[in-house]
Each structure stands twice: as structure tokens, then as C-alpha cells.
Structure 1
Amino acid sequence: MARLGLDFGTSNTGAGVMAGGRPFVIPLEDGASTVPTAIFLDFAAKRMVYGSAAADAMRAGDEGRFMRALKSVLGTPLAREERNFLGQRTTLIAVIAGFLAEMRDRAQNFTGMTFDTALSGRPVRFHSDSDTRDAKAEADLRMAYDLAGFRDVAFLPEPQAAALAVAATGRVLVVDIGGGTSDFTLCDRANSQTQVLANRGLRLGGTDFDRVLSLAHAMPLLGHGAQIGAELGSASHAAPRALFHDLASWEKIAFVYDAALLREVRRWIRLAQQPVLFERLAEVLEAHLGHDIAYAVEAGKIAANGTGAGRIALDVVERGLGADLGRAALTTALCAHADAIGAEAVQTLADASVAPDTVDHVVYVGGSSLLGVVRQAIGARLPDAKAQDAAVFTAVVEGLAIAAE
């Protein structure tokens, strides 16, 4: 039996094996090289729907619960907290296990092979601020693989896997910026051999970029920062921030739809100086539109990075509602995060006692590595290194397939 290379990502997941001496990325849906890491709990059919079909069900307004970015809950109490899903008490680890089992089944159906072991990618650091939580996250993911029916799973840092698949030679810094983390592998490559000099990781990625943009440009249209009056007297205070932060965080959106919270927002409407803002917020909570907003923010980010003229379109909440997002605003909002990533890249070199001017190539991997503000931050610190793109969404999968062989 072959070992499956599986890259379970915050935003997207891919699988691969070696075929004819080359890594082969297995199409997991409709010929696509990756599948969205998304799950929809279909209340009517009492089943879980995965990938693009999950997102389609959410957008269609089917009755159920949509979840994305579940990788971000690994290592947190939320991962093992029992909740009622489809009529039974279970954990988010078990929900992730269902997703992993589905990806294995799709890989088996396409290849005709049987996979009972896996080589899984993992961030260099699930949690960069806590060794204990980081170890807990890997233990949670290992449990998910076990529940999914894998007999054994081994782990390889994602940028180290990608380093096996890139074409660059010399001294190479692989920069892998995904949905939840930014990871770095410094290595020397010659004659298809890779010597790893240092690995480093930071819990900061595309979902964090989306949260910053959402809080700055989308959530104010729903009342973030608006004033609420007191029940008695003329005093006022800003609306509590926690709800808006949860609505702006991919992994938390599914858990904000609470009847008591909706009643509280309706109280804000009565006391607000600008009630229309909280009327929109109530509509979002009542109609479960949080993920629609998150997708709109993501689309605006991509457009602003590409053409310089994006828009966060919230027509799903109110016709014509939205916020323009240009490249300058994108850079302003994300520059602090980009600087943190640039600093982490330089620290990776310091870990190996390597001078920046000895790095020949910076190879970018992961969807969020396409952001210009991030590349500028790294390029400014490594001006002598040649920037190079690998297969942004599949380099990790290809490297896992090579390593699994």
C-alpha cells in the first residue's frame, strides 16, 4: 500500500503520490488540483458536504452550518469541545476526521490505490506563541487522522516539503504563506539534493489578513465602532467588539448564530444613534450571512492586489452596500502583518547563522504569498535574492509525494 501525501490546509487541501518517477497531484474534485477546506452540515439530509459543494450549499442558503478554516482551531479548547452536530454530540476533531476520510476516499477512487498511511504537511508552528499549544495541535491532527481510519501518519513541515519540489538551486529560502500560518525553510539545493539549514514559522496568514480588512472596511457598515446609548440617561458607549471580531474570523463565524446574541443586537437597534447599522447586523445574524461577508472581503483583497481597484461588495446584506478597497488601502491595512512576516524570514537566516546576501533565491509558495505588500517586505530585506514562484497551491503536495516515496 502506498503512503498518501496529504496537505490539509487552512483554506485548501491537496493530495499526491509518485507516478512514473514524478509527483502527481490527485484531482480531488472536478479535475481541480486542490479542494476548498470547507464543510457544510446539511440539516435536511443529515450529512456532511465537503469542498466546493459545501460552499455552494452555503451560498444557496441551504439549511445547515458552514465551516471553514477549521485547521485554525487545532490546539485550542474549541477543538475538543463537544457540540451537537447533526443530532449527535461530537467534536471539531471528529468533523475534521470526516473531511480527511472523504479526501482519502476520493484519492482512492481516482487512483484505484489503497491508502492506509499518510505523510501529512503541518506548519512549522501551529501556534508560534506556545510550545504546549503547538504540540497539542499536532496531537489533535493526529487524532483526526486516526479517527479517519489511517493506520499511521507522519508529519513534515510544509515549507520543507515544498523545498523538495522547487526547481531553484543554490541557497534557497522557501516562503510558504497560507491561510493560517507563514512558514520558512532555508536550504541548500544542488543536484536534486536538499540540505535543510533552518525551519521557522509564525501563526499569521491569509485569514488574519482577511480579518484586518473586514474589521477596517466591512464591519463598520454593520455597527463596529458605532455608539449605543444607555437604557437611562444620555451616556453612550461603543458597541462591544467581540461579536465583530468573531464575524471577521473565518474559523469563528459558524458559532455566532445564537438567539440570545440576536436579541442583544435588537436591543442595540433600539438604543443606537445609527440604528440602520445594527439593523444590518441583525440581518446578518438572522440570515447567517457571515461567510458571505468573509468571501466578499477575500474577493476584494484579491482584486485590490491584482488590479489595484477592489471592492468589498455586501449586496447580500443590502443592495449597493459595500466599501471600495484600493491597493494603497490594502497596503496600509496589512503593512504591520507584512513587516512581521519579513522579520520572521530574516530570523530564519539568523537561526542558521546565514547572511542575507548569501541567499540566491526566495521561492514563494501558498496563496497569500501572492500579496504584493508581503513580497515587498521580504524583498526589502533580501534585495540580492532572486524572487521565484513555485506551484503556489501545489508545491507542498508535490513535495509530500516525493517525501512519502
Structure 2
Amino acid sequence: MKSAVLAIDFGTSNSAAAVLVDGQPRRLAIEATADTLPTAVFFPADRGPMRVGAAAGQALIDGDEGRYMRALKSILGTSLFHEPRQIGGRRRTLSEIVTAFLRHVKHQAEAQAGMVFSRVLSGRPVHFHSADPARDARAEGDLRACYAAAGFETVDFLFEPEAAAQTRRGQSPQGEIGLIVDIGGGTSDFSVFREARGRIEILASHGIRLGGTDFDQEVSVAHVMPLLGLGGTLRRSLGDGVLPVPNAIYRELATWAKIAFLYARDTERFVDDLLKHATDPQAITRLRDVIYDHLGHELAFAVERGKIAANAQGVRTAIDLAFVERGLRAPITAGSLNASLAVFSPPLRAAMYETLVQAEVSPGQIGSVILVGGSSLMGLVRREVQMVCPTARLEHADAFTAVVDGLALATAEH
């Protein structure tokens, strides 16, 4: 008799686990009583044990000394994934950290289910990296190796939008063609499917490396980073005139996966030099404080909250930056949010059209579009979907658990 297969949705922002029980997915509370676990870790400076999920976020909020890390999935397939760095009192690779995270998920799932899992069916994006098959293959190889190191003997993968499509059994008219639009933290994935005699037939799947963390980055660069000196000028050390403030550090500070690596002495020296030559020393002082006080992740969380508020309320609000400087706020409106995200409209639209082309169906043949993933709640996504498939019904799946539920259903065939 085959052992049960654990379904794991290892996400850029959140992860989840489930098992199939009597033909139905049963989500496992791998974080207290929650269905999902933030994909985040914290390494205390005193070399204490790694904290995972909400505990990692709480350590950051409490101001504990240490290294907070999030969005590790986006590093899969890159050389950075295997590069040793000083983290939590010793040299570690991101591969070791992801392995430790998955080992934690396995342990928690086993405790909840009361059984040992040696087999895993993991979700994966259609493409970890757009238009780079070699790096894409390395990314899956990296993740497979982490699962194996975490204690799984058999590791299988299923595209995340195809997993989400499994939850549509019996939800649509027989023979109707649907489109899954899964916008996660790091990728956007699409599947065209058709329900036929109680089974889900996948007609085509496609994806691009674009997700909620990219949305956060552009919102941060447009609204927050100018308050830290982006777009400013520097006095020349020799001669007259000014030079633009380099923008690379701001891009990295606005990128979830890179924030932790800015907390280094060479970055501090760089910022000190910027301050020495700044024509707007107040703005660069804020940047210095963020780097020296390790406030980058607090900044990113504030941007994320501001993005969600502006998207949901459709009115003027502000990103609260009082933790950087008393009373500091970055205004954000639905209009300024849309303007900062406008650059993503063409690639999202093109990816949906490409999926339809691969499936050999026209937009008019799509009866329903199902939105999956936390970032699918953005107004930008809804507008692009309606532009591509104007006659389709627009439905919302459970944004954060549709993939893991579908993976659990798919374990019946593994």
C-alpha cells in the first residue's frame, strides 16, 4: 500500500500543506490554527534557533537583533542560492535555509496528520524564470534537492495553475472552457482548462516571472524611495556641478529577497559617502537610518499595506513611515498606485493571450476566468483580465489555498 502524499504549496509569500482524506483535501495547520504559513525566517543574532512564519515576523516587529528573510523562492535557480553568507552567527547558504524551512513544514504537517510523509507533491510556477530554460531547470533542481534534504524520498511537481484548476471539478457547466489566472508573490501563471466527464483537462499552461513582490517594488520606488533620496543629486568631490544619486541601492531596498543582504559594512560606507555629498542631506539621512537600523523589511511591509489600502479603498491614503522619521508619510492614491503599476499591464496581457494561443482557443471561448493568488486581488489584474476576456464570468477562488487544495486532489494520481 502506498503511503500518503503530502501536498505542499511553497510560495514566495505564503506556504501551505494539505493531505487527501476520503477524496477531499484536508489542510494542515502548519502554523498554530492557520491554513497558511508566511514563507519567512528569522535568525537571532545570539545564534538561537531559527524562527519560522509568524514568529519570524514577530521577531522583526519586536526589534530583536538578527536577520529576517522573505521571498526566498525568487532566488531559486541563481548562483546566489548556493553562495555562503554570514547569517545568524555562521555561514549558511540560501539552499540550507530553504531546506530548514521545508523540514519545518514537514515536521508540523506530520504532527497535525499523525503520520510520516516520505512523498511530496509540490506546486511550482510554470516558469521560475521567464525565457530562460536553463535557469528554470536549475530552479526546479534546487527545489527538488531542498525537498530531498528535508527528508522526502519521492518529490513530484505540478504547475500551480494546473493544481488550482483541479478545484474546479463540478464548478462549471460541462464542457465549458475556463482560464486560471494565478498571480502569486513572484510569478504569474495561467492555465486554460476544460471539465470533461468529471475530469479536468488542461489545454495549455504558461507563466512569467512577475508577481506581487514586483508590484511592491514599483510602489516603493514611486512613492517611498524619493523620500530617502532617490532622484536627488550629489555634489562632485572635485569641480562644479552635481551628479544623480545612484538608484541601485533603492531598487535593492525595494526588493524583498535582497533587503537582508544590504545590512553589511560596505553598504554603510556607501551610504555614508552619499550623505557626505548629498544636496538633500535630510533624505539621505533617512536612507542611512534605514540601513543602519535594519528597517528595510519594516519599510517593505509598510509599502505592502499601503498598496493594499489604496487598491481596496480607491481613495487617498498614505504609507506610514513614522518608524523612519516621526510624522513621515508617503501619500498614495488609487491613481498613483495604478500609475506605478502600469508597466506591468502589457506583459500580463501578453501572457494571457499567449496561453490562449497555446490552447488554440479564442478569448470568446473562455466561459469563466478564475482568479487565484493574493496578488490577483489587485485592480490591475482584474482590468487586464476583463480586457482579454470581456465576455467571461469573473470568479474568485480562495486566493491563498486554491493551489494547495488542488495539489491535495492531484495526489490521488501520484
Query: Which TM-score bucket, shorter chain as reference?
Result: over 0.9
5+ residue gaps, structure 2: none
Would the aligned equivalents of 2:46 and 2:89 in 1 still touch at CA under 8 Å?
Answer: no
Opposite residue 268 of structure 1, the aligned amino acid is: L
Aligned to 1:164: 166
SS at match of 1:172: strand
- Residue 191 of structure 1 deviates from its aligned partner by 3.9
Question: Which residue is equivalent to 2:343?
Answer: 336
Higher mean C-alpha deviation, range 29-38 or range 245-254: 29-38
Q: How do residues 63-78 of structure 1 correspond to structure 2 at under 5 angstroms?
A: 63-78=65-80
Coordinate RMSD, CA, aligned: 1.1
Q: In the alignment, which residue of structure 2 is the partner of 1:349?
A: 356
SS in 1 for 2:394: strand
Deviation at 1:148, TM superposition (A): 0.8
Aligned runs of 1:116-195 on 2, under 5 Å? 116-166=118-168, 167-169=171-173, 170-195=176-201
Q: Distance in 2 between matches of 1:97 and 1:52?
A: 18
Instruction: Give deviations 1:16-39, integer Å, cap 9, x for gaps.
Output: 011232111111112111110001
Q: Distance in 2 between matches of 1:200 and 1:363?
A: 15
Residue 62 of structure 1 corresponds to 64
Match of 2:390 in 1: 383
Deviation per residue, 1:146-201 (Å, 9 max, x gap):
11111111000000000001233410100000000000010111343111100000
Deviations 1:300-348 (A, max 9, x none): 0100110113321111100111211111111111122133112211110
Task: Find runs of 4+ consecutive structure 1 residues off by over 4 angstroms.
Answer: none
1:224-263 map, 5 Å: 224-263=230-269
Q: Deviations over 1:36-73 (max 9, x none)?
A: 00010112242210001101101111111000000000
Alpha carbons 1:39, 1:49 under 8 Å: kept: yes
Q: Which one of 386, 389, 394 corresponds to residue 401 of structure 2?
A: 394
Choose which of 24, 34, 37 in structure 1 pairs with 2:36.
Answer: 34
Separation in structure 1 between the aligned mates of residue 318 and residue 34 of structure 2, nearest angstrom: 27
Q: Give the AA of the match of 2:181.
A: V
1:37–1:69 Cα contact (<8 Å) kept:
yes
Deviation at 1:89, TM superposition (A): 2.9
Shift of residue 258 of structure 1?
1.4
Give me the whole-angstrom Cα distance separating, in 1, the residues matched to 2:292 and 2:373: 34
Distance 1:123 1:179 in 2: 11
Whole-Å separation in 1 of the counterparts to 2:14 and 2:353:
27
Which stretch of the first structure deviates more once superposed, 123-132 or 16-25? 16-25
2:172 counterpart letter in structure 1: A
Number of equivalent positions? 405
Contact 1:342 1:374 in 2 (8 A): no
Q: Secondary structure at the match of 2:224?
A: helix
Contact 1:4–1:119 (Cα < 8 Å) also in 2: yes
SS in 2 for 1:189: strand
1:271 aligns with 2:273: no
1:352-402 CA distance string (max 9 Å, x none) = 211110110000000000001111011111001110111111000001001
Contact 2:12 2:74 in 1 (8 A): yes
CA contact (8 A) 2:119 2:154 kept: yes
TM-score normalised to the size of structure 2? 0.96
Measure the CA separation in 2 of the matches of 1:103 and 1:204.
26
Paired residues of 2:322 and 2:329 also in contact (CA < 8 A): yes
2:43 touches 2:50 (CA, 8 Å); kept in 1?
yes
Query: How many angstroms does 1:238 deviate by?
Result: 1.1
Aligned 8 A contact 2:47 2:88 in 1: no
TM-score, with structure 1 as normaliser: 0.98
Structure 2 residue matching 1:47: 3-state secondary structure: coil
Deviations 1:243-262 (A, max 9, x none): 11100000000000111221
Q: Is the 8 A contact 2:216 2:304 kept in 1?
A: yes
AA at the equivalent of 2:82: R
Quick one: distance in 2 between partners of 1:9 and 1:91?
19
Find the aligned partners of 2:197 and 2:115 in 1 and give their Cα distance: 31
Distance across 2 between alignment mates of 1:371 and 1:339: 15
Deviation at 1:233? Answer: 2.1
Q: Are 1:315 and 2:319 matched, yes or no?
A: no
User: Pick from 93, 104, 107: which aligns with 1:105?
Assistant: 107
Whole-Å separation in 1 of the counterparts to 2:96 and 2:33: 27
- Residues of 2 paired with 1:213 and 1:87: CA distance? 33
Counterpart of 2:20?
Answer: 18
Paired amino acid for 2:306: G
